[in-house]
Chains A and B, each alone.
Chain A
Amino acid sequence: MVEKIELSGREQRKVLVRLLSYTKPHKRIIIWAFFLLLLTTIGDIVLPILVAIFIDDYLQPGRLEFKPLLLLGSAYMGIQIVKAILLFFQLVKFQEIALYIIQQLRIDVFSKVQALGLKYFDKTPAGSIVSRVTNDTEAIKDMFVTVISTFIQSGFLLSGIFIAMFILNVKLAIFCTILIPILLLVMVVYRKWSSQFYLDMRERLSQLNAKLSESLQGMSIIQVFRQEKRLRKEFGDINELHYNAGMKNIKIDGLLLRPAIDLIYIFALIIVLSYFGITSMHQSIQIGVIYAFINYLDRFFEPVNQMMMRLSLYQQAIVAGHRVFKLLDEEEIAPAQSDDPHVSITDGKIEFNNLSFSYDGKRDVLKNITFTANPGETVALVGHTGSGKSSIINLLMRFYEFERGEIFIDGKSIRDYSKSELRKKMGLVLQDPFLFYGTVKDNIRLHQSNMTDEQVKEAARFVQAQEFIERLEDGYDHKVVERGATFSSGQRQLIAFARTIAANPKILVLDEATANIDTETEEAIQTALAKMRKGRTTIAIAHRLSTIQDADLILVLHKGEIVERGTHQELLAQRGLYHKMFLLQNGGVEHLEDVAN
């Protein structure tokens, strides 16, 4: 998705200044790069002067002395070679700076993303967040690598050439300064027009690609409704507009880019030749100086061309920078926790007190939830989709902030514990356990590098996962592809169990998988669950009622409210919602007639 952003001049400058502030930590290497740049520029300036000296002092008078000429010749080649070597390092240094700046920017954005609350992820598509972190920063990189370094290098060279011209001939150099406003004018006009046309072309291109991608996705619909012809025409129209925008760009580039700069070069040449020509009518002229001036003119215009060709990149980078900074300034932060590291969870008693919650501030998904889970007990949450089970877990895990009601752990507000204490003592197993790209071992260990292989295996054994893991090719080093797609959902679940057990939490939060799990893993999962729950306070969402029959407390939720509560036997005796759910899952369909009444 490409939004069109119009930035005022002031905003553009603000973005640029903020981008440039990222150069601060790299002061030393920047000073180095500038020093090298200074040296290579001096080399560029000195070489034509050497030739001028040769022509004026030796060639024209026909004075050919071996020693000074050898000296001059070796100086020329020596400077040429040293300059080339320095040039290499200077170019590399500038790119290196740009790359490190972008790396820092990327890390900053990524860290910011990690600090954001889940609410932000609900309202922002994952794709657009990813593109902030990678694509936008890449556009900024292009600016740093090409635009800024070209500008600096060209600026140095241009100043150097002017200094040299002033040294060689002040009067002519002054004449040449009229080139500057002319070039600036061309640049300003070009920038004004081209940025507009260029943005227009980018916009058309993104429309074109969006249309294509959408058509490919919806091709079966297009075909079944016989709209091929119409869509071909629509696509053709956008394609035509893109073509027109492309032609406009070629025209504006043709009018104001290279051809224009080459024309200005001819004018500059005329100034130089006329000046020397007219002067030569009254006094004699050093022909070497003519050579040097013409040589400078040749060098002068290439950097100008380079700078102008890169103006469009600058525009893109500023827009990208604007988007990146907007994310960096985002205020939807994760719920705050106390910093006090000494408050710790010892027993694992959980109390929900009159808790109500809404995601959007309009519709309550939880209403007056009150219950207590004593240390070591299991509380099961049951109810159909949308009844509020997952929201209870989201709040307990502090994914979302709540305002009405309170959650206590060991008698203290959940907010009084530090973040790391909560994460250490509470383990969550998600319904669709997310596996990361890497190995099985990596997925159990996650980023806890101090966990030994033995501990990993221990955890896997504890949750009955070792059997299937060891059957895999390479066992614990088996490659996990994107999102663990090659594993069955039961196997993914077992790995997630191992991951949680390896962290040895005091409180266990389970979101039971609904997906079809084959009977073989089903058994392993059941055994594992029973073992895991032992000695831990457990809050479990259960889809299969058979798994929580021994729970100390079962809460039946409907539309955000607890409508029934009790043990399995108590609830069955009530013959209410729970009873019906139980029948449904246990093939009790035939008794439907009984329940319906």
Chain B
Amino acid sequence: MRVFFQLGWFFKQEKKSYLLGVFLLLLVALLQLVPPKIIGIVADHINEGTMTMKLLAEWVFVLIAVGLVMYVLRYYWRIMIFGSSVKLSKILRNRLYHHFTNMSPAFYQKSRIGDLMAHATNDLAAIQQTAGSGVLTLVDSLSTGGFVIIAMAFTISWKLTLICLIPMPFMAMLTSWFGTMLHRSFYKAQEAFSSLNDKTQESIMGIKVIKTFGQEQEDIEDFRKQSEDVVQKNLLVAKIDSLYDPTISIIVGISFFLSIVFGAKYVLAGELTIGELISFTTYLGLLVWPMLAFGWLFNIVERGRASYDRVSALLREKVEIIDQENALDLVPHGDIEYRIGEFTYPGETAPVLKDIHFTLNRGETLGIVGKTGAGKTTLLKLLIREFEGYQGDIWFGGARLQDYKIDKLRQAIGYVPQDHFLFSATVAENIAFTNPDADKAEIEAAAKIANIHEDILQFTDGYQTVVGERGVSLSGGQKQRISIARALLMNPEVLILDDSLSAVDAKTEEAILSSLKQNREGKTTIITSHRLSAVQHANQIIVLEEGKIIESGTHEELMELDGWYRHMYLHQQLEELVEQGGH
């Protein structure tokens, strides 16, 4: 029940809805007592032959009135209580999302997206259930149960009530116990299902191997076996699930039996009328639900608490990269200066960057080359403050990176990442990502510089073509160029191309580089690349190896050196020759 205290803030916030909802629930619970009572009274009149038209009309009128009032009340408490629970999940979902947008890459490195999704879906559903059905069951089972028992004991017979209640607690106990067992076996069934899912996935990924060895039939047989396992685990669930109804029916049956047997005794002794006995059995029928509900309540609340704990833990995760106090509220511009001793990723021991010292003047182009894993991307990630905690400082426009507000710093930087991620939206919306209000001309201008305009016009819906996970699939080169256009639209002080030309051919690369040069007069550009032709014309090129700068200078200077750069350059020229068919 602790979860109800944990959710206290929400109940307080929504106290009007909850108070009203609970009040209506209590009213319904009271009104529910009326029809059985009327049944008993009418039955007695009939039995004794004292029924008149007037009496009957009166009671029918009361019944209609009670029925209609209950209908209205039942409708409204649902709105109040269930409505609030939906609101709770809305609030928590927004909070989670807000929190997610504040977390740094380090957080995303250690958590799996599937798990985060599970928190936002399954856990929120369980919490919503606690705030809705949980509250309902608690209030309703206590009130209906209490009122019915009071009505039975005080208006009919307290002795009979006690006798008939004996079997009821067993029902609550048994259903709660079944609930736990059901949960456990359900979990196993889910596991079997997800391993069937994995099996299917694997077979589809490995379909070539299966076809090569002609093992389709054998694989189907294997699938049959696994699906049999799913059946067996689910059968166990079915068996436990099927215990509920018979158990309830036996226990309620015993209660009924007791009420008839002892009730008959009291009728004969003159302590009870037959009509009252009929009322009594109808009341007994009303008790079934609260008892059942009590059994469920424990399961609902238990799951709700576990889920709420998980979600709270997630929300408590600290935001790692935050603005300093009195951080500069201006967009930086000017020279960039790296003075780094060492940088190591959080949770790792080997440094990825060592002794990185260089200055990049405003308006110049810097090329960074080196093998995969040499630290090129890391170098850039420090500039956009995705990671912190390095020895030394990075200066930008006369102040250290941390001196600026993150938002302002990032306003100066247009980043084109290695993995060109596009959103499920139109091409135009993807390019206008930083400024949804950008007009057509701006979008097309950016697309033209990125050399993707012509391609986009070829798409079925032009700029309105939906791309991304749920849209048409584009080639890697097209995605890269759209990412470039996206960064260009903000006309940034510093443009970073992180190996963003790898999937375009040499000709396109050249075209993009030259249009960048024309359009970014006076602005800084940083390019990392495997292909040296992309950085050939940079004002300054640094070669990284294992996190250290091993060569630096202009293309001409580096070619003179006869080191890594020159060797790689010649190698790539030959490679290109081969790709073009040797001519």
- Residues of A at under 8 Å CB distance from B? 1, 47, 51, 54-55, 58-60, 62, 64, 73, 76-77, 80-81, 83-85, 87-88, 91-92, 95-96, 99-100, 103, 106-107, 110-111, 113-115, 118, 121, 126, 129-130, 133-134, 138, 145, 208-210, 212-228, 230-232, 235-236, 239-240, 242-243, 246-247, 250-251, 253-255, 258-260, 262-263, 266-267, 269-270, 273-274, 276-278, 280-281, 284-285, 287, 290-291, 294-295, 298, 334, 384, 397, 399, 419-420, 422-424, 426-428, 430, 433-434, 436-437, 446-448, 482-483, 499, 503, 558-559, 563, 576-577, 580-581, 583-584, 588-590, 592, 595-596
Contact = CB atoms under 8 A, between A and B. Distances in A.
- Judged by DSSP, the binding face of B is helix
Nearest to B422: A218
A588 to B, nearest CB: 8
Contact of B220 (A59, A114, A448, A576): A114
A118 B285 contact: no
B497 interface: no
Contact of A91 (B67, B221, B245): B245
Interface stretch (B206-214, B451-459, B515-523): B206-214
B51 A281 contact: yes
A269 B197 CA distance: 51
Given A59-B274, A80-B257, A259 B202 contact: no
Given A55-B274, A76-B257, A95-B241, A222 B218 contact: no
Given A107-B223, A210-B470, A287-B46, A60 B264 contact: no
Contacts of A118: 207-208, 211
A595 B574 contact: yes
B101 A231 contact: yes
A287 B274 contact: yes
Nearest to B264: A59
Contacts of A446: 209, 213, 215, 218
A107 B78 contact: no
A278 B56 contact: yes
A349 B449 CA distance: 54
A577 B76 CA distance: 81
B410 A225 contact: yes
B227 interface: yes
Interface string B66-83: 111011001110110011
A434 B208 contact: yes
Contacts of B154: none
B74 A259 contact: yes
Given A60-B274, A215-B101, A483 B285 contact: no
Lowest 5 A-B CB distances belong to which pairs? A423-B214, A447-B218, A266-B67, A577-B582, A91-B242
Contacts of B570: 589-590, 592
Contact of A580 (B52, B238, B577): B577
Interface residues of B, number: 140
A88 B575 CA distance: 73
Interface stretch (B37-45, B164-172, B393-401, B530-538): B37-45
Contact of B250 (A84, A287, A294, A295): A84
11 contacts: A77-B254, A81-B250, A84-B250, A107-B227, A226-B411, A232-B101, A243-B86, A250-B83, A266-B63, A423-B213, A447-B215
Contacts of A259: 70-71, 74-75, 78
- Which of B74, B436, B573 has the most chain A CB within a 10 Å cutoff? B74
B278 A294 contact: yes
A427 B212 CA distance: 7
Contacts of B250: 80-81, 84
Contact of A419 (B94, B214, B223): B214
B67 A267 contact: yes
Given A225-B410, A290-B46, A437-B198, A99 B223 contact: no
Interface stretch (B228-236, B333-341, B439-447): B228-236
Contacts of A427: 212
A579 to B, nearest CB: 8
Interface stretch (B115-123, B307-315, B361-369, B542-550): B115-123
A367 to B, nearest CB: 14
Interface stretch (B5-13, B178-186, B413-421): B413-421
A266 B297 CA distance: 28
A115 B574 CA distance: 44
B386 interface: yes
B117 A212 contact: yes
Contact of B211 (A225, A334, A584): A334
Contacts of A263: 67-68, 70-71
Contacts of B574: 580, 583-584, 588-589, 592, 595
Contacts of B238: 91-92, 95-96, 99, 145
Interface in B20-70: 35, 38-39, 42-43, 45-47, 49, 51-53, 55-56, 59-60, 63-64, 66-68, 70
A57 B250 CA distance: 25
B102 interface: yes
B424 A95 contact: no
A227 B579 CA distance: 40
Contact of B116 (A216, A242, A270): A216
Nearest to B81: A250
B571 interface: yes
Contacts of B508: none
Interface of B: 35, 38-39, 42-43, 45-47, 49, 51-53, 55-56, 59-60, 63-64, 66-68, 70-71, 74-76, 78-79, 82-83, 86-87, 90, 93-94, 97-98, 100-105, 108, 113, 116-117, 120-121, 193, 196-216, 218-224, 227-228, 230-231, 234-235, 238-239, 241-243, 245-247, 249-250, 253-254, 256-257, 260-261, 264, 267-268, 274-275, 278, 281-282, 285, 384, 386, 407, 410-411, 413, 415, 417, 421, 423-424, 433-434, 436, 468-470, 486-487, 490, 567, 570-571, 573-575, 577-579, 581-582
A110 B227 CA distance: 11
Contacts of B201: 126, 130
Contacts of B108: 216, 219-220
A291 B281 contact: yes
A55 to B, nearest CB: 7
B224 A284 contact: no
Contacts of A397: 211-212
A219 B424 CA distance: 14
Contact of A130 (B42, B204, B281, B579): B204
Given A91-B242, A284-B49, A80 B223 contact: no
A99 B411 contact: no
Contact of A87 (B234, B245, B274, B417): B245
A114 B219 contact: yes
Nearest to A230: B436
B60 A273 contact: yes
B101 A222 contact: yes
Given A262-B71, A267-B67, A250 B78 contact: yes
Contact of A133 (B67, B87, B200): B200
B204 A559 contact: no
A447 B219 contact: yes
Given A64-B268, A217-B113, A589-B570, A77 B257 contact: yes
Given A215-B101, A280-B51, A225 B234 contact: no
Contact of B56 (A87, A115, A129, A277): A277
Nearest to B469: A214
A76 B257 CA distance: 8
A280 B222 CA distance: 70
A126 B242 contact: no
A218 B71 contact: no
B79 A250 contact: yes
Contacts of A251: 75, 79
B410 A226 contact: yes
B413 A437 contact: no
B47 A285 contact: yes
Contacts of A92: 235, 238-239, 242
A258 B116 CA distance: 36
